[in-house]
């Protein structure tokens, strides 16, 4: 088995290099001191990072994306967790059909969903509004929360909740002190993924956003189409770093929660 194991490790190493290499190239290029993208850099500078933080063209769109992502994270986590609890613990008719309906935005192509938002929001004057972006991102982020929390609930023992109810706790106290603490780590992870889905979205923003509600990913997409600004490499590096920090933080919180349970 030594030969196949070595081959497997070699294949995994090649795949990791293939996935990570473009990110490394972008990060190195972001420190380029010349007014154009050059790899490897002929000189090192932080000018493109400074340009991002000092330019309203970029910084304001980043703040808008951050606000929408935070709102989406809260709404998707609350709605998705509530729906997952109802689906897993409920016994009402049509539960499976309702579950399929809730997670359908994960199955339908995102372009189709965005086009539907465009026609729906144009009728109610929600195009080019922060609220329209929030609604669109919440729809595509909530199904992921449902799937993650549903999986966590199915691995927990419902007897603990029944024991709490038999000892006099009502539904809400049982939910607060038994159900939610047992899946807290999963809820935090789902919230982090909901945030990243909203912050990184570009398709919904292209159809729904306008000049007054341009998000950072949409601004990056427009810049790539019409010009090549080296600031893009700095932004891409910051987005990658932010995603890594969020995911590492979630993993550390998950491990800490599991250690307390054990």
Averaged pLDDT score across all residues of the chain: 83
Per-residue pLDDT at 257: 63
Q: Is there a domain that residue 256 lies in? A: no
65: burial class by Cβ within 10 Å (0-12, 13-18, 19+)?
A: buried
Domain total in the chain: 1
CA-CA distance, 79 to 71, in Å (whole number)?
A: 12
- Give a yes or no: residue 243 inside a domain: no
User: For tokens 């807290």, what's the residue?
Assistant: 184
Instruction: Say how far apart CA 90 and CA 82 lie, in whole Å.
Output: 11
- Considering only CA atoms, which of 199, 210, 187, 194 is closest in space to residue 235? 199
Residue 34 DSSP code: S
**pLDDT value, residue 182:** 81
**pLDDT attached to residue 48:** 82
Is residue 220 within 8 Å of 232, Cβ to Cβ? Answer: yes
pLDDT tens, N- to C-terminus, the chain (262 residues): 577 778 888 888 888 888 888 888 888 888 887 777 777 777 788 888 888 888 888 888 888 999 999 999 999 999 999 888 888 887 778 788 888 888 888 888 888 899 989 999 888 888 888 898 999 999 999 999 999 898 888 887 777 777 777 777 777 777 777 777 888 888 888 998 899 899 888 899 889 888 888 888 888 888 887 777 788 888 888 888 888 887 787 777 767 766 665 5
Q: Do the Cβ atoms of 237 and 245 come closer than 8 Å?
A: no
Shortest CA distance to 134 belongs to which of 112, 117, 111? 117
Is residue 61 in some structural domain?
Answer: yes
Residue 205 falls within a domain, yes or no? Answer: yes
pTM of the model: 0.82
* Residue at 241 is within a domain: no
Is residue 63 in some structural domain? Answer: yes
244 domain-assigned: no
3-class secondary structure, 44:
strand
Does residue 139 lie in a domain region?
A: yes
Q: What is the CATH number of the domain that holds 160?
A: 1.10.3720.10
85, two tokens: 């609890």
pLDDT tens per residue, range 140-165: 999 999 998 988 888 877 777 777 77
Q: Which domain holds residue 130?
A: 55-229
């Amino acid at each position: 088995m030594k030969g196949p194991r070595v081959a497997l490790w070699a294949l995994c190493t090649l795949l990791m290099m293939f996935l990570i290499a473009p990110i490394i190239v972008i990060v190195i290029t972001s420190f380029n001191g010349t007014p154009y993208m050059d790899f490897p850099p002929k000189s090192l500078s932080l000018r493109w990072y400074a340009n991002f933080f000092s330019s309203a063209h970029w910084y304001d769109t980043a703040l808008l994306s951050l606000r929408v992502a935070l709102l989406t994270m809260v709404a998707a986590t609350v709605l998705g967790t509530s729906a997952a609890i109802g689906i897993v613990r409920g016994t009402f008719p049509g539960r499976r059909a309702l579950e399929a309906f809730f997670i359908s935005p994960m199955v339908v192509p995102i372009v189709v969903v965005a086009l539907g938002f465009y026609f729906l929001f144009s009728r109610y004057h929600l195009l080019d509004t922060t609220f329209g972006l929030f609604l669109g991102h919440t729809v595509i982020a909530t199904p992921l929360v449902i799937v993650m929390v549903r999986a966590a609930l199915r691995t927990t023992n419902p007897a603990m909740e029944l024991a709490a109810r038999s000892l006099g706790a009502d539904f809400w106290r049982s939910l607060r002190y038994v159900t939610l603490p047992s899946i807290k780590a999963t809820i935090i992870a789902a919230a982090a993924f909901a945030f990243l889905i909203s912050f990184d979205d570009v398709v919904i923003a292209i159809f729904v956003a306008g000049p007054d509600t341009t998000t950072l990913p949409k601004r990056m997409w427009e810049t790539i189409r019409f010009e090549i600004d080296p600031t893009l490499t700095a932004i891409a590096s910051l987005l990658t770093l932010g995603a890594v920090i969020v995911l590492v933080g979630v993993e550390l919180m998950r491990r800490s929660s599991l250690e307390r349970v054990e």
